[in-house]
Amino acid sequence: MKNLPLIERSPDPEQPPSRGEKRPSIAARIGSLGQNRLGALLLVIATVVAIVWVNLSAASYEAFWETHLSIAFGDIHLDFTLHALVNDALMAIFFFTVGLEVRREFAIGELTSWSRAVVPVVAAVAGLAVPAVIYLLIANGSGFEHAWGVVISTDTAFIVGALALIGPKASGRLRIFLLTLAVVDDIGALSIIALFYTADFTPMPLLVAAAGLVGVYFTRYVPKGRGPIYATLAVIVWLAFLASGVHPTLAGVAIALLVPVYRPNRRDVEQALELARTFRQSPNSEYARAAANSLRESISINERLQSAYAPYVAYVILPVFALANAGVQISGEILADAAMSPVMWAIVAGLVAGKFLGVFGSSVLVKVFRLGEFGPGLTLDRIAGGAALCGIGFTISLFIVQLAIDDPEVQNEARVGVLAASVIAFLLATVIFRVSDSRRPDDDAGHTLVRPVDPERDHVYGRADAPLEIVEYGDYQCEFCLKASGSIEQVREQLGDRLRYVWRHAPLERYHPNALAAAEAAEAAGLQGKYTEFARSLFADQEHQLPSDIIRRARELGLDIDRFEHDLSSAKVTARVRDDMLDAETMDITSVPTFFVNGVRHTGPYDARSLIRALERTAAVVPDAQPGPTGAA
């Protein structure tokens, strides 16, 4: 079981981080890579192993993956090769997790708000179309024009891992951009597989699949034992897709899109906490089971399945898929043939140039015509690096090679093209990120405020046109922020209308488990005109910020409780807090409170006298902050 550390005290912003820590072990270093990096590393290792294996002994490689497995259920006989089992069954699980992510993004993620989603959505669509056009132009006359689907998809697992390895510091918004792009990209790629790469179509089994999918949808209303029902129906739907001729991996997506997703309900969380307290007072198996079930049910099955399957997908399924499909024979003759192959060059050009031109070019147009919102940190130079990474089309590209090309020699040439394009895209992205970082001013390290104050968006105290400005990033469960609130009051009393003070959210979830919920609750109260009162109540009692305490405070302030609870789970409130958190990440804020005085980061003590001195010092060299919609979220 994964151990979750409980840390009661956050870092003191006045104290520098300690440097005398013991060097971590090799195991600790591997663990610190994170799932994305380690998964990408395993993909690379599996790819290298497959290439070495097939070149040392092509016969044993092919014989192993062509091993037949037979399964019989009465009169039903299923016969698979190991290769088909990987591509048809294991990859159905991979696409199931992709579908879960798509469903979540549409329900409560980036794709709920068009203003935030338009940039990556447009980039994804262009990133599908432009590579296909380039492929068709180069492969014209080769006889394999229909394999244009090989260049359409971006490998989500690889780009997330690569971004973690070579991406810029504070790449949170770029990561969200690429993940949203990859989600839309996956929808397009899966649709194209269904429409253009399905052979021997038999419609009748799809009626069985449809009935199974209806069952999947209504299973959400079953009070208990939903897991076995979902599993049984999933197998039935998968077999029906297999029998219909539609590629069975699409069954995973269809099922995932019907799995419910929702944000945790405050009442469900509170009930789970009450049962946990009951178990603590009277520990027995009945209370333990009730508490565990209540905790599990408070989280949507979509998110539970994502967290459950993600390690298996990252550490087992994708590496095994690479091992089964990346076996490319490499020799002087083969490389010479590939170098002369229009298919290979069409794939390289489609993935490397097509993805870059489609993603980056469309992003430039969106920015020029102001069709969408680019948050702080999501600059065009960083998007250029991300666009280059999108040329890594490994998983689905190799998958479509198997579906679209029958000639083994051309398959090998196509795999050479996919691998070459992925390496080139990775190196190109590395160069772009390094050049971008080298030319970026020190301001980007968090010395200056990345998002100008906007009275229409921010929580501003004081005159909007005041000549002096303090912006604080903090959280409501931090004892140092509580201490700073007294200093801010003294500064405001002394400077009066000359000062405007702005609070922004930077909840340190690692140290303060209730801070994020408190920030969202304050924003929900703000929608009813009670932001300040709610924020003061949170500071007044930092020890009680559980869901029941949040609702109690709302009731005491006279808020409409039904509306308040609805707003707590709304995308508007979530996005408002997350925007501040991403700003904080962009500026490398790791402790709170962090102050920006007249737009300049303040270091050192934050008592009233120190803050006033900093205001006077920076006012002489920094232009007055001008309010306006420039940084509006």
Other C-beta atoms closer than 10 Å to the C-beta of 607 total 15
Mean pLDDT check: name the lowest of 25-39, 207-221, 328-342, 504-518: 25-39
Tell whether the model's pLDDT for residue 426 goes beyond 70.
yes
Measure the CA dihedral 18/19/23/28, to 10°.
Answer: 50
Q: Give the Cα separation of 176 and 159 in Å (integer).
A: 12
∠ CA(191), CA(194), CA(196), 5° rounding? 100
The radius of gyration of the chain's CA atoms, rounded to the nearest angstrom, is 27
Q: Give the Cα separation of 236 and 388 in Å (integer).
A: 40
100: tokens are 């879960």
Tell whether the model's pLDDT for residue 210 goes beyond 60.
yes
Q: Assign 29 a pLDDT band (cuts: 50, 70, 90).
A: low
417: tokens are 């093209």
pLDDT the model gives residue 481? 93
Please state whether 426 falls in left (phi above 0), alpha (psi between -120 and 50) or beta. Answer: alpha
Residue 58's identity, in one-letter code, is A
Q: Give per-residue pLDDT as tens, 236-281.
A: 999 999 888 887 888 888 899 899 887 776 677 777 777 777 877 7
Tell whether the model's pLDDT for residue 631 goes beyond 50.
no
Q: Give the Cα separation of 335 and 313 in Å (integer).
A: 32
Tell whether the model's pLDDT for residue 630 goes beyond 70.
no
Mean pLDDT of the chain: 85
Judge contact between 503 and 459, C-beta under 8 A. yes
Q: Give per-residue pLDDT as tens, 522-555.
A: 999 999 999 999 999 999 988 888 788 898 999 9
Q: Assign 283 a pLDDT band (cuts: 50, 70, 90).
A: confident
Q: Give the Cα separation of 140 and 342 in Å (integer).
A: 8
Residue linked to tokens 């000549």? 467
Q: Give the Cα separation of 206 and 78 in Å (integer).
A: 18
pLDDT the model gives residue 6? 44
Q: Give per-residue pLDDT as tens, 431-476.
A: 999 998 887 665 455 788 988 999 999 999 999 899 999 999 999 9
What lies within 8 Å, CB to CB, of 317 at 6+ separation is: 90, 91, 93, 94
Average pLDDT for 202-224: 91
Residue linked to tokens 């999933």? 234
Taking alpha carbons only, the member of 287, 348, 362 closest to residue 122 is: 362
pLDDT the model gives residue 26? 47
∠ CA(206), CA(212), CA(213), 5° rounding? 90
Q: Give the Cα separation of 38 and 430 in Å (integer).
A: 18
pLDDT the model gives residue 209? 94
pLDDT the model gives residue 5? 43
Q: Give per-residue pLDDT as tens, 133-190.
A: 999 999 999 999 999 999 998 987 778 778 878 888 767 788 888 888 887 887 888 7
| Cis status of the peptide bond prior to 260, with omega within 30 of 0 | no
Tell whether the model's pLDDT for residue 18 goes beyond 60.
no
Other C-beta atoms closer than 10 Å to the C-beta of 558 total 10
Average pLDDT for 300-311: 88
Sheet strand arrangement including 594-597: 459-461, 499-505, 468-474, 594-597, 600-601
Q: Give the Cα separation of 38 and 27 in Å (integer).
A: 12
pLDDT the model gives residue 2? 46
- Tell which wins on pLDDT, 632 or 136: 136
pLDDT > 70: what percent of the chain?
90
48: tokens are 């290298």
pLDDT the model gives residue 43? 84
Q: Tell me, what DSSP letter sits at residue 168?
A: P
455: tokens are 């009275």
pLDDT the model gives residue 50? 93
Q: Assign 24 a pLDDT band (cuts: 50, 70, 90).
A: low
Taking alpha carbons only, the member of 176, 632, 119 closest to residue 372 is: 119
Residue linked to tokens 């020029």? 368
| Cis status of the peptide bond prior to 342, with omega within 30 of 0 | no
123: tokens are 């980039």
Average pLDDT for 319-329: 87
Average pLDDT for 310-332: 88
